[in-house]
């Protein structure tokens, strides 16, 4: 009978042990910034793509079409609430002449056009990634995301979430100056 009691006691303690392990991992993850998602692309060549342009579906946009550097690729969609948050800042970048390109990700063509007509277009060119395959190559898992690419086509930085003046000043500018964040 004592052997059976020990087994019952261990069976009762097992869920408590599992719960403690789960609480530990949950507590550790609470202290992490979800926008700091490491990207295997940083320091590597930007993934190639050739996609239709949103404003001219008969034309295509590919990485080799970008002649200057550094430049930014902003992943956005009309259904994305974070994209709405960052849009005014992107408009300011566009007005200032920043080399900003768009990747319209998993969006409806007419929805994307309507969104731009209502809010303005900050991008030099917008590629359409309707099925999300280019986004997979870039490691995109949600919009908005913004990539900073140098003149040689190397990904310098990836920002997950809405881009704003503070992030641009505190992260993008130091990266452009050769100081990693």
pLDDT per position as a tens digit, 93-138: 999 999 999 999 999 999 999 999 999 999 999 999 999 999 999 9
Q: Is the pLDDT reported for residue 35 higher than 70?
A: no
- Closest-CA residue to 155 (of 76, 67, 35, 40): 40
Q: Assign a CATH topology to domain 50-176.
A: Glutaredoxin (3.40.30)
> Residue 59 corresponds to which tokens in the numbers above?
């034309």
Domain boundaries, the chain: 1-32, 50-176
Flag whether the pTM goes above 0.85.
no
Residue 66 and residue 125: Cα distance in Å, rounded?
9
How does pLDDT run across 137-167, given as a tens digit for each residue? 999 989 999 999 999 999 999 999 999 999 9
Gap between the Cα atoms of 83 and 81, Å rounded? 5
Position 74 scores a pLDDT of 98
Average pLDDT score, the chain: 86
Q: How far apart are CA 117 and CA 111, in angstroms?
A: 10
| pLDDT value at residue 176 | 81
């Amino acid at each position: 009978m004592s052997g059976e009691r020990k087994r019952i006691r261990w069976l009762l303690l097992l869920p408590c042990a599992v719960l403690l392990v789960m609480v530990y991992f949950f507590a550790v993850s609470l202290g992490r910034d979800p926008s700091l998602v490491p990207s295997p692309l940083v320091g590597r060549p930007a993934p190639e793509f050739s996609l239709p342009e949103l404003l001219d579906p008969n034309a295509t946009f590919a990485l080799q079409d970008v002649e200057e550097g550094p430049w930014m690729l902003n992943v956005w969609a009309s259904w994305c609430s974070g994209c709405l948050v960052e849009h005014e800042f992107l408009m300011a970048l566009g007005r200032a002449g920043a080399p900003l390109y768009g990747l319209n990700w998993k969006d409806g063509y007419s929805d994307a056009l309507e969104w731009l007509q209502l809010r303005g277009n900050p991008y030099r060119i917008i590629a359409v990634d309707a099925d999300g395959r280019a986004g997979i190559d870039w490691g995109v898992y949600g919009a908005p995301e913004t990539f900073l690419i140098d003149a040689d086509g190397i990904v310098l930085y990836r920002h997950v979430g809405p881009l704003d003046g503070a992030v641009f000043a505190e992260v993008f500018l130091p990266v452009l100056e050769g100081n990693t964040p």
